[in-house]
Amino acid sequence: MNDPYGGTNLFSHPEEPDDEIEEELEETPSVYTVSELTAAISGVLEMNFDSIWLEGEISGHKVAQSKHAYFTLKDDRCQIRCVMFRGSRSGLKFEPEDGDQILLSGRVAVYQARGEYQIIVDSMEPRGLGALQKAFDQLKKKLEEEGLFAAQHKKPLPQFPWKVGVITSPTGAVIRDILNVIKRRNPKVSVLLNPVKVQGEGSAIEIAKAIKEMNLRQDLDLLIVGRGGGSIEDLWAFNEEVVARAIFQSRIPVISAVGHEVDVTIADFVADLRAPTPSAAAEIAVPVLDEMLDLLRGLTENMIGQIEWQFQDRRERLLSLIDRRFFREPARILENPAQRLDDMSARLTRSLETWSLVQREGLNSRVKRLLSASPERKLIQQRARLENQEQLLGHLMMSRVRLERNRLDLSRLPRSLDSWSRVQRETLRSLVKRLLSASPERKLAQARSRFDSQNHLLAHLMTGGLKTERNRFDAIARQLDSLSPLQVLGRGYSLTSKRETGKVVFRKDQVKPGDRLRIRLSDGELDATVEDG
């Protein structure tokens, strides 16, 4: 019996085989090719295992460039190859990993190129932990590592919002609860609803788009994103990555209000504030107007009281200051400064006198030192010393003469005396000559002579330089004088201009009869009137 795929049905067992066929088989056994046998087995497996559920552990999981996933499913004794094509993988809520215990659905097929059978996987979910929960944990870990939950990214909520944006279903009870709470707490606050689908396919995209649209407005102070309670599947839109990233990128502060207090979503972690319920979100967002007004009244009264107290205190202090002697007798203000001024003036006078005395004594000392170092004084002293030495020498000579006269014979005395006197006279003449050559008057005269000579030479040079510069000046003056317009006028030319405008007349057609002209000559000006143009 042949199967629908063209091969032989290996599982058919006819109870009463045809004797003719048995005989024929015994005579001519069937011979299959590898392809025929593989096709026959493939048909049998695909027909009998078209839809199965299989449980096991993932091993060797890898994703090819084509996005198809290949892995082995095994238990403690056997293993089987599996493939999950890209179309089926797009519906997964989590990313399978090696070691995951999963429950998959699919069908058995044969990869005829290698003659291996495998499972074509249509769907899978983790065993023990739901697929959504695993996807939730994986996305939470990923966004937390990126810093989307960090406290430094949380924006502060406005203390007094005047316009609140709400992103939720327009038909649910959530929007009614939020409107009632806000109206009850502060009827002055406006609410702008951006209606979206909060569950089902495409709901996450709508919520993310609504958040971005609200951020394009400039009049919103706060956003409330939420919905009512439900299962994890119902709330799954708020666990999608696109919603989380839209909330994180929102310029406007966001309050997440999803489900009940026990429901936790990824949006709650990313939002700037999580409210346990939508009604609680409205209460957190909008303060009670009456309470705020009472608070303002109390603060105003307190501030007025503080101002009145401070005013009274300042007035009392002012009156106290006015009553002081300082203001009643202002002339006393100058008493101490005047006394101090007198004291400082006296100290200054004494200091100036002392300084003047010290300077005068210093000046006298310098005058004395100058006088003592004067060349005239030294000359007088040298002259006096020379005269004393001459007198002393005369006395010594006379004493020596008397002694020699007494000691020598009178006959030899005149000759010896003449000889001794001649030697002494030559010695005295030499000393006088040396004294005269070293005389300060002589040196002073020589210095004065050199000064007069240098002065005369300098005067001669200055006279020559002045004469040269005067000649150059006269030459330049003559050049300038030759270029002067007055020299041109001196050769008989004149300069004519209109008297009213001062414009120079170059041509005849510039004037007309009656025009008044001014003619400039070398020695003055003439006024003229044009009679015939």
Look at residue 1 in the predicted model and tell me its pLDDT: 36
Look at residue 11 in the predicted model and tell me its pLDDT: 38
Over the stretch 81-100, which tens digit does the pLDDT of each residue have?
Answer: 999 998 888 888 788 888 88
Alpha-carbon distance of 506 to 35, in angstroms, equals: 122
Q: How many residues does the chain have?
A: 533
CA dihedral 69, 70, 74, 77 (to 10 degrees): 170
DSSP string, 305-321: HHHHHHHHHHHHHHHHH
Instruction: Show Cβ contacts of residue 505 under 8 Å, excluding neighbours closer than 6 positions.
Output: 496, 497, 498, 511, 517
Indicate where the chain has its CATH 3.40.50.261 domain(s). Answer: 131-287
Over the stretch 44-80, which tens digit does the pLDDT of each residue have?
Answer: 888 888 889 998 888 889 999 888 999 999 888 889 9
Contact by Cβ (8 Å): 82, 98: no
Alpha-carbon distance of 252 to 247, in angstroms, equals: 9
Indicate where the chain has its CATH 2.40.50.140 domain(s). Answer: 34-126
pLDDT beneath 70, residues of the chain: 1-28, 128-131, 326, 407-417, 533
Burial class (CB in 10 A: 0-12, 13-18, 19+), 292: middle
Look at residue 83 in the predicted model and tell me its pLDDT: 93
Look at residue 412 in the predicted model and tell me its pLDDT: 60
Over the stretch 197-224, which tens digit does the pLDDT of each residue have?
Answer: 998 889 999 999 999 999 999 999 999 9
Tell me, what DSSP letter sits at residue 57?
E
Extract the tokens encoding 44. Answer: 């049998």
Question: How many C-beta atoms surround the C-beta of residue 452 within 10 A?
Answer: 10
Amino acid at 377: R
- In CATH terms, the fold of domain 34-126 is OB fold (Dihydrolipoamide Acetyltransferase, E2P) (2.40.50)
Look at residue 308 in the predicted model and tell me its pLDDT: 92
Q: Please give the class, per CATH, of domain 131-287.
A: alpha beta
Look at residue 191 in the predicted model and tell me its pLDDT: 95
Over the stretch 458-488, which tens digit does the pLDDT of each residue have?
Answer: 888 888 888 888 888 888 887 777 777 777 7
SS3 for 141-181 is HHHHHHCCCCHHHCCCCCCCCCEEEEEECCCCHHHHHHHHH
